[in-house]
Amino acid sequence: MTAILLGTEGDRRALGWFAAMVLVAGLRLLATRAWRRDPAARANARRWGRIGTAGAFAAGLVLGGGAAWLWPQSETYQLFWVFLVGGMCAGAAGLHHAHLPTLLAFILPAALPLVARYALEGTERSFGAVAMILVFLAAVSISAWRSSCDFAANLRLRLDLARQARELDAINGRLREEMGRRRATEASLRQAQKMEAVGQLTGGIAHDFNNLLTAVLGSLAMLRKRLPEGDARAARLLENALQGAQRGAALTQRLLAFGRRQSLNPAAVDLPALVRGMAELLRGALGGAVHLRSDFPPGLPPVFADANQLELAVLNLAANARDAMPGGGEIVISAAGREVLAGEVSGLPAGAYVVLSVTDAGEGMDEATLAQAMEPFFTTKGVGKGTGLGLPMVHGLAAQSGGRFLLRSTLGVGTVAELWLPQAAAPAAQRARVAAAPAPARRGTLLLVDDDPLVLASTAAMLEDLGHSVVEAASAAEALDRLRGGLAADLVITDYAMPGMTGLELAEALRRLRPGLPVLLATGYAELQGEVPHGLPRLDKPFEQAALARATDACLSGVGAS
């Protein structure tokens, strides 16, 4: 346009207008670059929006003002101005359709000077041009307004979708965490169910082994009495058999401990005194390369547990810690009181506990090994060096005592074994158990009841060897029939697990049939601890002849009898 004005009309004012247009364009370009370099442009959006709108207004004003200022006399060049300004307004509509204020800031100062110039002419043709320009401005403005509304709606939609996508990502994250926790809980539950099922199976098998070992130990004891003197080879073989049966009995006790079916005699136990009492045993088991240190706070409350089984648990944990340090090291046995709130520790009811810890600085375990450490028969030791029942036994003891057993281990750092046991509020009343009879042994007629022929024959032989007269019965019903038939029995020795009528049911029937007749319950079921009536003595299987003799003497002399 500048070239046309200079070439046709020689109007040098066009150069000043051209300089003004270049200046405004340069300032807008600098503002655009400053906006792009502003790190806080998003936060300063309103300020930059006002600057941009002001730049558009300046460009439109210079364009429209220049057209009015340089208005040519020729109608042809007047129409050229109109087309130039109209084209610039149409281009602005395309560029600024998303922001109506910027568009209006450009097209109104650009077009209205032309409207004023035509209106001043006062001709019919000029008024027609005014009407056409105003209609054009209205059309562009309405189109831009609709585009701006559509853009705003789309922008709000995109922002809403982005916000919803962020919320959905957050929900998915929480869902993944919850699914992870649920999978962990399900895995723990499956592990607990598996261990419970294995424990029930193991406990049942161990109970059957108790019956077999009772017959084996009894028969070997009777055979040892009848072995001719001077037969050293036979005596050695017999002793080997006895030792094997006793080791089998110890293994059975471990199986029962894992299955939570061992017979416990819980009492208030002073942990520092218990560890001091077994110090020599621990030092002998650990060897010279391992240093043992105990750390007990003053005033540590006693725990309610079976002292003998607790000693075995401590010995097992110490032996495992020793094996984890083949090059030697230090084992620390410590304890601390702990108050547990409801739901604070998984698997433990609220109450007061003592946490007995055995800590080593050995090889430690990785996560896979730690996850299997308490499974029965799992061991990291070589063949013949471990049964894999040590930790399951400790786990079973803790669970049966009302506590829990925890293992924490880091590969290359060491292991901490924690045995949580309930505090003993006061010395607990002990379940009636068989004690040694202070009076001289008494002989009598004994009614022996057991559904297992091997146990029945072996026990009868041991009792007869002790000088008693034995009457055998293979069931509770047969025993009652014999007593109703006039059998004058001095003592009834009965198994618990029998078909038709259990030993407890037989004892209750005997209370009604023969009040005052002593009954001795022989069983390996630990679940009976809460079911055995007060005053009813029990004899735990497997038993040897000496234990059987003490039990029968105690019952016949009235010690522990009902």
Contact 300, 354 (CB under 8 A): yes
* Residue 61 or 223, more confident: 61
Q: What is the pLDDT of residue 433?
A: 39
Residue pair 274/310 in contact (Cβ under 8 Å)? The answer is yes
Instruction: Answer for the pair 463, 529: CB distance below 8 angstroms, yes or no.
Output: no
Domain boundaries, the chain: 2-121, 200-258, 267-422, 445-556
* AA identity, residue 67: A
Greatest CA span in the chain, whole angstroms?
154
* DSSP β-bridge partners for residue 409: 415
403-461 pLDDT, tens per residue? 888 888 888 888 999 988 999 874 433 333 333 334 445 788 999 999 888 888 888 98
Residue with tokens 């009614």: 447
- CA distance linking residue 383 with residue 439, whole number of Å: 50
**Domain range 267-422, its CATH number among 3.10.450.50, 3.30.565.10, 3.40.50.2300, 3.40.50.300:** 3.30.565.10
Mind listing the pLDDT tens digit for each residue in 299-335? 899 998 888 788 888 888 888 888 888 888 899 999 9
3-state secondary structure 96-143: CCCCHHHHHHHHHHHHHHHHHHHHHHCCHHHHHHHHHHHHHHHHHHHH
In contact, 288 and 330? CB cutoff 8 Å? no
What is the per-residue DSSP string for 226-248? HSPTT-HHHHHHHHHHHHHHHHH
Q: How far apart are CA 66 and CA 552, in angstroms?
A: 129
User: What are the tens digits of pLDDT across the range 14-46?
Assistant: 899 999 999 999 999 999 999 999 888 888 888
Distance in angstroms (rounded) separating the CA atoms of residues 561 and 433? 10
**Do 445-556 and 267-422 have the same topology in CATH?**
no
Residue 230 has pLDDT above 80, yes or no: no
Residues 159-208 pLDDT 10s = 999 999 999 999 999 999 889 888 877 776 776 666 566 556 555 666 66
Indicate the CATH number for domain 445-556: 3.40.50.2300
Better pLDDT: 243 or 403:
403
Whether 245 shows a pLDDT value over 80: the answer reads no
